[in-house]
């Protein structure tokens, strides 16, 4: 029996390692992590466009570029409850000044990581509109108490199953495989933990809205296992805040971005991009716009 368990564990570990392997890093980030960190508030949700194999699968399943979500909990001293602070320090031994995210990650479980982990990723900040400070603390408290929990293994296996060509399944299943049953464990994605935390304080994400038998308006909570990262982007109750690496805050500044000047369009092909950049090296840009790190 023990040998069988070891074999199963070994297989699961190998599949996990293969799924979470990252593609080559981008030369430049798409988001300004310094500005995002300056503006972030405890209780904000950070969306990530992942670059791993499992991220590619999630993009197909959810039909969205957002493949991961994490909860911003601030710095260690932002957590007023000493018990919660101790729980965080048990799972993170970095600099107390680090800005921290709480996330449920495939292969790692529920952990604490620094915001700078995603400095080269495309990010988006989703801010719960009107969330009271007391409720923001309650959201973080619920999430912190989940630290150390494993990521659902059955969810991992289902994701691996989806890596097979779509031709073996009807195309209409692309967006409905995860919606067959609200009790199915395939619902356990990274956003589930965050959705549960907001449900605890009655904060809406994408509730069902209807009327009862007396005609009174009622909101019904959606099963948190059905949430995916894109739902925080889509929710009318979250403000969307973007921080591009090259900002255009001043009126007309976009005219001075270092555009390639030969009118060649990029067709999402890595080899083509390399050739375009090589040719552009000899072309004088419209203006010299340099990104200043804060």
Instruction: Give the rounded distance of the alpha carbon of 240 from its chain centre.
Output: 13
For 275, residues 6+ apart whose C-beta sits below 8 A from its C-beta are: none
- At residue 49, the 3 state secondary structure works out as strand
Q: Which helix (H) or strand (E) covers residue 230, if one does? A: helix 230-234
pTM above 0.75, yes or no: no
* Measured CA distances, 28 to 33, 97, 130, 171, 238 (Å): 12, 25, 34, 35, 28
- As a whole number, mean pLDDT of residues 253-274 equals 58
DSSP notation for 116-175: GGGTTSEEEEEEETT--HHHHHHHHHHHHTTTTPPPPHHHHHHHHHTTS-GGGS-GGGTT
What would the pLDDT profile of 53-78 be if each residue is shown by its tens digit? 676 777 777 778 888 999 999 999 99
For 204, residues 6+ apart whose C-beta sits below 8 A from its C-beta are: 198, 219, 235, 237
What would the pLDDT profile of 184-193 be if each residue is shown by its tens digit? 433 345 788 9
Q: Where are the domain boundaries for CATH 3.90.1720.10 in the chain?
A: 2-241
Q: Which residue has the higher pLDDT, 207 or 10?
A: 207
- At residue 7, the 3 state secondary structure works out as helix
Which class does domain 2-241 fall in? alpha beta
pLDDT bracket for residue 182 (50, 70, 90): very low
């Amino acid at each position: 029996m023990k040998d069988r368990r070891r074999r199963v564990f070994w297989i699961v570990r190998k599949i996990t390692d293969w799924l979470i392997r990252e593609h080559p890093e981008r030369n430049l980030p798409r988001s300004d992590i310094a500005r995002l960190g300056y503006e972030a508030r405890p209780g904000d949700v950070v969306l990530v466009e992942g670059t791993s194999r499992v991220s590619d699968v999630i993009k197909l399943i959810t039909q969205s570029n957002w493949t991961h979500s994490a909860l911003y909990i601030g710095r260690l001293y932002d957590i007023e409850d000493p018990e919660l602070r101790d729980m965080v320090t048990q799972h993170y031994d970095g600099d107390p000044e680090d800005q921290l995210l709480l996330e449920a990650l495939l292969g790692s479980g529920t952990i604490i990581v620094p915001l700078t982990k995603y400095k080269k990723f495309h990010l988006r900040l989703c801010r719960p509109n009107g969330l009271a400070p007391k409720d923001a603390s309650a959201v973080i408290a619920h999430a912190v108490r989940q630290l150390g929990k494993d990521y659902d293994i059955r969810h991992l296996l289902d994701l691996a199953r989806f890596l097979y060509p779509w031709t073996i399944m009807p195309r209409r299943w692309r967006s409905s495989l995860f919606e067959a049953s609200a009790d199915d464990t395939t619902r356990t994605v990274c956003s589930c933990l965050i959705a549960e935390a907001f449900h605890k304080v009655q904060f809406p994400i994408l509730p069902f809205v209807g009327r009862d038998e007396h005609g009174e308006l009622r909101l019904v909570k959606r099963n948190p296992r059905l949430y995916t990262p894109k739902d925080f982007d889509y929710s009318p109750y979250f403000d969307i805040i973007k921080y591009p690496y090259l900002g255009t805050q001043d009126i007309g500044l976009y005219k001075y971005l270092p555009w390639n000047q030969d009118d060649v369009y990029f067709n999402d092909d890595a080899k083509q991009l390399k050739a375009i950049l090589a040719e552009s090296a000899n072309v004088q840009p419209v203006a010299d716009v340099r990104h200043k790190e804060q």
